[in-house]
């Protein structure tokens, strides 16, 4: 049930971006599905868990469609509760980085590779969403609050727990909560990753183009 909540919230973010980009309902559904399932699909293909869960669990496929319908009719109201959506998005981030790490390890990968795929599970869908929407992925932008770092911390905690044989529901929850807390604190205090020292070039953000 918790994974469906994470999928739902990730799908909301994809559908909202589609609305901002003036996509039609099909485009909204595509971005919702990709955002919600892209990271897990990538992980499953890498570890050989085929067919991927996204294609064997009907709930995984239908949940983003439900999110699409909600945003299609109620996107102004959804935008107004963006803070609440961010909380659930952070929870989904923490959940997927931990469960992704554990699943990758169960399929025979080493700890480092498992943590890497845990990170990919958490952030991969967002990267695909931004690429399809012709945006620089938020993961790579210096002017965005930390997103990958909390997922890295959560995945690393899960990998360490596996290493010492103490990964259980309690320690998994602790790793999820740690990633969740870091993400929420980054949103509140606008924590951002440092850029290169002594940069000689200055990059300015292009103004957002208004779709006709």
136: left (phi over 0), alpha (psi -120 to 50) or beta: beta
139 vs 204: CA distance, rounded Å? 17
Span 8-29, average pLDDT: 93
- Which helix or strand (DSSP H or E) is residue 126 part of? helix 111-132
pLDDT of residue 142: 85
Look at residue 90 and tell me whether its pLDDT is greater than 50: yes
Over residues 98-150, the pLDDT tens digits come to 999 999 999 999 999 999 999 999 999 999 999 999 999 988 888 889 999 99
pLDDT of residue 151: 96
Sign of CA dihedral 128, 129, 133, 134: negative
Over residues 166-187, the pLDDT tens digits come to 999 999 999 999 999 999 999 9
Neighbours of 82 (CB within 10 A): 13
149 vs 50: CA distance, rounded Å? 29
Look at residue 200 and tell me whether its pLDDT is greater than 70: no
**Angle 179-184-185 from CA coordinates, rounded to 5°:** 100
């Amino acid at each position: 049930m918790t994974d469906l909540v994470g999928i739902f919230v990730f799908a909301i973010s994809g559908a909202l971006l589609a609305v901002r980009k003036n996509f039609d309902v099909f485009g909204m559904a595509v971005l919702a599905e990709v955002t919600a399932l892209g990271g897990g699909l990538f992980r499953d293909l890498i570890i050989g868990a085929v067919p991927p869960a996204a294609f064997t669990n009907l709930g995984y496929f239908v949940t983003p469609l439900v999110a699409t319908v909600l945003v299609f009719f109620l996107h102004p109201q959804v935008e107004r509760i963006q803070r609440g959506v961010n909380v659930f998005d952070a929870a989904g981030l923490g959940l997927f980085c931990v469960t992704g790490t554990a699943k990758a390890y169960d399929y025979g990968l080493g700890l480092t590779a498992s943590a890497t795929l845990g990170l990919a599970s958490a952030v991969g869908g967002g990267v695909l969403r931004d690429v399809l929407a012709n945006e620089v992925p938020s993961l790579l932008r210096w002017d965005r609050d930390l997103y990958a770092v909390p997922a890295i911390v959560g995945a690393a905690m899960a990998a360490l727990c596996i290493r010492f044989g103490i990964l259980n529901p309690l320690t998994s929850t602790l790793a999820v909560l740690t990633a969740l807390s870091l993400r929420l604190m980054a949103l509140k205090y606008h924590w951002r990753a440092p850029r290169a020292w002594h940069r000689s070039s200055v990059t300015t953000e292009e103004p957002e183009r208004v779709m006709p």
